[in-house]
Structures are given as C-alpha cells and as structure tokens.
A and B are shown apart, each in its own frame.
Chain A
Amino acid sequence: MAAESSVSIELKGKEKKGSVSHFMKKNKKNMGSILEKIIENIFFLCACMAILSVVTITVYIFAKGSPAIFKIGIAEFVFGMVWMPTSGVFGIFPMIVASILATLGAVVIGIVVGLFTAIFLAEIAPGWLVRIFRPAIELLAGIPSVVYGFFGLIVIVPLISEYLGGAGNSLLAGIIILAIMILPTIISISETSMRAVPPSYKEGSLALGATHIQTIFKVIVPAAKSGILAGIVLGTGRAIGETMAIILITGNTPLIPTALTDRIRTLTANIALEMGYAHGLHQEALFATGVILFIFIMILNIVLNAIVYKKVNQ
C-alpha cells in the first residue's frame, strides 16, 4: 500500500511538468463537456454493436431456418434418418449423431492429453521447457483449421486406411484432428487457472506431508476446477463448430456411424457442402441445420456462463 502511494506521488510529480492549465473559460468548459458527452455516447453505441450483432444474427438465422423446420415437420427434420435433397427428404438425425460423436471423442482425448499437459506446464516443467512449450502451443492455436484438415487428409486418413482398413475418411480421423485442434484451448485455459490457485493451498498440502503429485491431483486441480471446465466447454464449442477440416477428412456420408472407421457427415459439413448450389426448400433446410447447430452452441454458452458465474461468486 505504502509503495503504491509513493509511486503515484512520483508520477504526479513527473506529469506536472507537462500539465495544462485547467482554469478554462466557462463557456469553453461547457463546450468541452458537451463534446465529452457526445463521445461517451459514441463509445456506448460501439459497445452496443456486439448486442446488435448477436440479435441480428439470431433473428436472421432463425427467420430463414425455422420455417423449413415447420414445413418439413420438427420430428421428421430432427429425427429423420434420410437426407435426400433431390427427392425432398430432409432428415438430419445422422448428422446430429455424427456431430455429437465426433465432438465427444475429441473432447475426451482433449481432456486427457490437455489436462496432463496443462499440469506439466503449470507445476512440473522446468522454466526453460515452459518457455519452449508455451509459444509452441500458442502456434498450435493459431494454425488455420484448414491446414489441420489438410494434414489429416494427407497423413491421418492414409494411416487409418492402412491399419484399420476402409478408405480412411472416417469418424476416427475427425476425432483425432478435432482433438489436436482443441488441445491449445484446453491447455492454455487450464494452465492459467491452475497458476491462479493461491500458493498457500499448495504449501499447506505439502506441509501436511502430501507428495507433489498428490497435491496436484487432490488440491490444485480441484481448486482450478471451474477454469478447467470453462476450457473444456470452450473446446467443445470449437469442436462442434469446426467445418472445413472436418469436410476434408470424414467422407461426408449422411449415415449414422456404427464403427469408428465409418464415414460421417456433421451438421457443419452439411451446410458448407451444399450451400453453394442449394435453393428453395433445400437452402432453407440448410439454414434449419444452422438453427439446430445454433441451439447446441447456445446451450454450451449457457453452461459456460453458469460455470464462470459460479467462479465469480466463489
């Protein structure tokens, strides 16, 4: 506290040299305050752009997509097993299943690998190794998803085809690439929240005779739980929304997969694949697919908000 105030005094001293007289004429001051008000309002309007965007996006997607759902019938659309736009049959159940399976698989791998890597970075790794790892993981986060898709197409797909049979374009390829893509999100958010755990928790646990590893898994990870969960939810959002990489590696057949090596088509892939030439009810059905995806994302967002809110309350 004392140090802080001494710094601020020093700063005030520094700034005095360049200070402008604040004894302004009265009307000039009024003009100034009007200008201030105007600019404050401009700032406010800019901040409202985010709200405006969310509202516009939601309204447009739902307005364009929901009529098709009712035209086709909610049950036929959501639980329909066949997607044949040319004969006017629009069922997206296989794609919903595919999206959920691919995301789930990726998240499970992502949690295991990501959590251990985050623990490594936050607790175990020596400083020099962290200085190599962390920029590398940031780079992993920055690589465009289409590059991952290409890598999957060139490397992962042939590997699967060679060892597990089939064409290689499969649910498994999707899971692997999605897992790699969401790792950076899970790692960096988990690491940050583990580092934010007060050192006294760790010291207390160590002082009671627990080993370092016990402290990590019984004290630090539980204490950082909400941050880790937030990272997982964000990763889930990224996985379920991924499109181009998935198109390149999963084969895009709209059937419910029965094995890891089966081809799948996700909700996102369905939109991107057919948007280019669709029209009429077909196009509306693609927007309706977007509506379903949007609802998934909204649910994830609410979960995320609940987690963050809980964290703030604690």
Chain B
Amino acid sequence: MDTEKSKGIPKKRRGILRIKDRILQCLIWAFSFITMGVLVWILIYIISNGISHINWEFISTIYKPVNNQHGIFPMILSTLYIVLITIVIATPIGICSAIYLVEYSRPGKVLSLIRFATETLSGIPSIIYGLFGYIFFVIALHLKWSLLSGALTLSIMVLPTIIRTTEESLKSVPIAYKEGSLALGATKLTTIAKVILPCAISGILTAVILSIGRIVGETAAVYLTAGYVTRIPTSIMDSGRTLSVHLYQLAKEGISFEQSFATAAVLVVIVAIINLFATTLAKGIKKFTIGG
C-alpha cells in the first residue's frame, strides 16, 4: 500500500515526508510521556514523602504547636463541615436548575441568559469568589468569618459543575422512557420524579462527587471567607481551617516540611478516592445508556 500510493511522488520528496512523519510521531510520543512522567513524578514524590508521617496520631489529634501537637483533626472536621453544608445548599438548586434547563425551558432569551450565567460562573477565578464572599457573606450579611460563609461562597462556585453534569445525565435518559411514561397518562412532574430522575441518579451522584473534589481542593475562596483558625469548629458559625488552607499555611510560613508533605499526601489520597468513585459511576452511566 505504501509504495502504491506514493507512486506519483518523486523519491526525494517521499523521503522528506517520511522523515517529517517520523519526527512528528516521535514528538507525539515524547510529549505524551512527559505529561505522564510529570504526573507520576508529582504523585510519587508527594505520597512517598508524606506517607511515613501519616499516622493515627497525626489524623486524630488537635493542632497546638506550642504543646508539640501537630494533628490535623480540626482541619479534617472543618473540611467535612464545609463539604457537607456546600453540598446540602448547592445540590438541590443545581439539580432543579438542570431539570428546568432540560425538561421545561424553551429556546429563547431566558435560556441563553441562564446558559451565559452558568458559563460565566464557571470561568470566575476562585480569588474573585473569595473577595465576593468576604464582602457579601462575611461583611454585608454579618456571617463573620465562618464555615457557613465559606460554604455559601463555595455553593455558588460548584453550581455550574452540578448543573452541567446533571444536565448531561438527564439528557442521556432515552427519550422512549419519557414518552412511555407520558403515554401512560403520567403527568410531566410524575415522569420527572419517577422515571427520569431515577434513571439519571448515577450522573447526579457523579456531579456531587466532582463538586466534593472541587471543594476539598479549594484554597483561595475558603481562605478569605472561612478564615484559618486551627480550633475544632463547634458550630457552622465558627471559623475554621480546611486541609488545603492548612497546607498553604504550612508551606507559606515554612513551618514544617514533614507536616506539609503529610497533609499534601492526605489531600492527594482523598482526591484519588473521589476520582475513583466518579469514574466508576460514570462507567455505570455509559453501561446504562448503551444497554438501555
């Protein structure tokens, strides 16, 4: 085939072409393995340096450097609180928006405005969210530097993720299901509640899990709205320091590389687990759409 197709091309040019192809092919392989190499490097470096400093004491004790206590328990708790509150606020709003966009909306000005707003929200950098959360929730609404302020700010931030992922999974429900339900006399609402949502549940879970990942990894917005005190939070009106903010503080102040490594390793492990869940669920969706 190779000789047949290049019959018309002079020999010299054919040679140049082949060399060009080879070079490009080499570049493609090289850059791909650079990407992969960097990833593996970062992961192995963080995990291998951090894992030896992670023990039960590190995870379960409070942080009081004066007493030589360097545990991250308060940060884990703060992170959990913020994740929980954010998900409780953002998920219902996100799912309802997605239902509206997929099932009710008609093409027009309102729809394109909502789309534009969602796109804009996902493009705003987290530091701007932080500034806004500070001026709006912390100052204007008098919520002070608190887990609630942080969670409210993050709720807006993860809204686009939840809306978009839920939308995708609602769209992937075969139209025949919907038509079947409607043809049987079920109302639109019943169809959505009993047919479409149950079918899209794994996609919605993926949306929630992706958002959790984003919340756990967020630093700038939380730093400006939830504060960075290391006490154990007792209510959602308390200020608290999440794991990411803790890592930032440790690294910025050069407090301790061991603790930094250990915290970074904890973060990476959490994110890896979250990713694993999300991919498993996403695979579930694919199977569903193909098999359905």
A interacts with B: yes
B38 touches A180 (CB 8 A): yes
User: Within the complex, which residue of A50, A117, A136, A137 is in contact with B31, where a contact is CB–CB below 8 Å?
Assistant: A117
Indicate if the CB atoms of A135 and B275 lie closer than 8 Å. Answer: yes
Is A164 among interface residues, defined by CB-CB distance under 8 A?
Answer: no
Residues on B with C-beta less than 8 A from A124 are 25, 28-29
* Contact size range, B: 35 or more
Contact of B127 among A138, A143, A180, A268 (CB under 8 A): A268
* B-chain residues with CB within 8 Å of residue A48 when the two chains form the complex: 114
- Interface of chain B: mostly helix, strand, loop or mixed: helix
The residues of A that contact B120 with a CB separation of less than 8 Å are 54, 298, 301
Distance between Cα atoms of A137 and B39 in the complex (Å): 8
Total interface residues on A, CB under 8 Å, equals 97
Q: Restricting to B139-187, which residues have a CB under 8 Å from any CB of A? A: 140, 156, 159-160, 163, 174, 176-177, 179-181, 183-187
In the complex, whether A285 has a CB less than 8 A from a CB of chain B is no
Complex interface: chain B residues within 8 A of A60 (CB): 132, 135-136, 140
Interface residues of B (CB under 8 A from A): 5-6, 17, 20-21, 24-25, 27-32, 34-36, 38-40, 42-43, 45-46, 92-94, 96-97, 99-101, 103-105, 113-114, 116-121, 123-132, 134-136, 140, 156, 159-160, 163, 174, 176-177, 179-181, 183-189, 213, 216-220, 223-224, 244-245, 247-248, 251-252, 257, 260, 264, 267-268, 271-272, 274-275, 279
Residue of B nearest to A217 (CB): B24
- Which residue on chain A has the smallest CB distance to residue B20? A213
Q: Compute how far the CA of A163 lies from the CA of B52 in the bound complex, rounded to whole angstroms.
A: 30
Beyond A19-B184, A21-B185, is A116–B32 a contact (Cβ under 8 Å)? yes
Contacts of B187 in A (CB 8 A): 32-33, 36
Judged by a CB distance under 8 angstroms, whether A262 is at the interface is no
CA–CA, A148 to B119, complex, Å? 26
Q: Is the CB of B114 within 8 A of A120?
A: no
Pairwise interchain contact A47-B101, C-beta atoms closer than 8 A: yes
Q: Which residues of A contact B105 (CB under 8 A)?
A: 47
Q: Within residues 116 to 133 of chain A, which ones have a CB less than 8 A from any CB in chain B? A: 116-117, 119-121, 124-125, 133
CB pair B46–A147 under 8 Å, yes or no, is yes
CB nearest neighbor in B for A16: B184
B39 proximity list for chain A (CB < 8 A): 136-137, 139-140
Q: A7-B176, A19-B184, A139-B275 are in contact. Are A56 and B123 (CB under 8 A)?
A: no
State whether A56 and B42 are in contact (beta carbons under 8 Å apart), knowing that A147-B268, A305-B116 are contacts in the complex: no
With A54-B117, A144-B217, A248-B251 as contacts: A211 and B100 at CB distance below 8 Å: no
Q: How far, in whole Å, are A43 and B105 apart by their CA atoms in the complex?
A: 10
Q: Which residues of A sit under 8 angstroms from B220, Cβ to Cβ? A: 243-244, 268, 272
Q: Is the CB of A271 within 8 A of B127?
A: yes
Q: Given B93, B104, B116, B244, which contacts A146 in the complex, CB threshold below 8 Å?
A: B244
Answer whether residue A153 sits at the interface, using C-beta atoms and an 8 A cutoff.
Answer: yes
Inter-subunit contact A121/B32 (CB<8 Å): yes
Q: Is A196 an interface residue (CB 8 A)?
A: no
Instruction: Assess whether A144 is in contact with B271, with CB atoms less than 8 Å apart.
Output: yes
**Contact partners of B248 in chain A: CB under 8 A:** 146, 149, 244, 247-248
B180 touches A241 (CB 8 A): no
Can you offer 13 A-B residue contacts whose CB atoms are under 8 A? Answer: A8-B180, A33-B187, A36-B188, A47-B100, A48-B114, A61-B132, A116-B32, A138-B275, A147-B247, A214-B21, A247-B252, A272-B130, A297-B125
A43-B97, A213-B24 are contacts. A64–B135 as well, Cβ < 8 Å?
Answer: yes
A228 to chain B, nearest CB (A): 15
